[in-house]
Amino acid sequence: MTESKITIAVFKEAENIEKIEWQADDSPEAKLQDAKAMILALWDSESRTSMRVDLWTKDMTVDDMNDFFFQTFLSMADSYQNATGDQNLMAEIKIFAQQFADKAYKAEMRRQAKA
């Protein structure tokens, strides 16, 4: 058995998250890396609940958040298929991801038109 560590540092000022840094033993980049947002989900099989930490920096744009969620949905679809072998539900998640991206894009265009 080997051990791999992931370190996450969150820098706050008052209620705002100013910076997120992370580093992982197995990452191709050995140095600290910046992130604008993160979603960490852990499964507690004993209580059958997920524990989550969702953070984003104060300068994360709506457009970047939309891309982040779209890519996260696609990644979750692939992970789900790899874990369960269920290609049908994987495809459903990817369809939802595309619908999300389309609606997010339209909402962003409406927001920009108002500005």
Give per-residue pLDDT as tens, 48-101: 999 999 999 999 999 999 999 999 999 999 999 999 999 999 999 999 999 999
Claim to verify: residue 66 and residue 51 sit in the same structural domain: no
- Rounded Cα–Cα distance for residues 58 and 91 (Å): 33
For residue 31, what are the domain limits? 1-58
Claim to verify: residue 54 and residue 71 sit in the same structural domain: no
Number of structural domains in the chain: 2
Q: How many CB atoms lie within 10 A of CB 34?
A: 9
Claim to verify: residue 66 and residue 19 sit in the same structural domain: no
Claim to verify: residue 24 and residue 39 sit in the same structural domain: yes
Claim to verify: residue 51 and residue 67 sit in the same structural domain: no
pLDDT(30) > 80: no
| H-helix segments, 1-86 | 62-84
Claim to verify: residue 81 and residue 106 sit in the same structural domain: yes
Average pLDDT over residues 9-16: 95
